[in-house]
Chains A and B, each alone.
Chain A
């Protein structure tokens, strides 16, 4: 239980760090279920292995693009949203595994992306699910981890 809490804290700090530094988005944890419009996924393998998924609403993806790239609303395309979403997850995963075990080398997969809508919430057995809110824009993160990686 203690380890899970520590792992959650490391993941949350990685998420906050990435979103604040690269996207100027300040997130607050929340307990609500959220609607998403796209999913990005990444796998990691090192002393432990697992995967992280990010569930983003179009609203938060647009805000990320505007802030990161300085684009106006009418300049944002599906491609720029996809790119930002994948890069965000890439950085979160990299930061997280470094916090998890700085002495181990981790391999990160190239992030995948899927334009898909649905609802994401907190309860999911065996997975760490987190939802964040930034002034009504939502981000969901789920992580699945197993010991004894490569």
Chain B
């Protein structure tokens, strides 16, 4: 199974590094979209579905936290898991991102293994790069 990824960061160098690291980790990408800020990301998302978003926080025009809020307001887009990847990672900032729906957090600078670990955890992919099936019984869920 392969995935569509969206990387949102105002640094083209950082977008290139993240894309390269994801590719080298064995994570199977069908496509990898890039956006320079939250506004560009929303425009891309209006045209194409992605399975996971990796976003910086500190960006011009629409920053990462504002982007999370825009996603949360959209009935369809709010289902896409978002991983924040950022330099200024105070506990308050991290909590602010999680409160707005982020599913994972990576601090810059990072080792390639960190991106791989968080990506795999958030999207539910095993170490072999394959999707892990949810094998829980129905009665384990509290409906």
Contact = CB atoms under 8 A, between A and B. Distances in A.
B117 interface: no
A108 B10 CA distance: 14
Q: Of residues A18, A79, A91, which shows the largest number of chain B Cβ atoms within 10 Å of its Cβ?
A: A91
A53 interface: no
A33 interface: no
B86 interface: yes
Contacts of A74: none
Interface residues of B, number: 23
Interface of A is mostly: helix
B142 to A, nearest CB: 35
Interface residues of A, number: 28
Contact of B87 (A65, A94, A103): A94
Contacts of A102: 90-91
Interface string A70-85: 1000000001100110
B29 interface: no
Interface of A: 17-18, 21-22, 65, 68-70, 79-80, 83-84, 86-87, 90-91, 93-95, 97-98, 102-106, 108, 110
Interface of B: 10-14, 16-17, 20, 58, 60, 86-93, 107-111
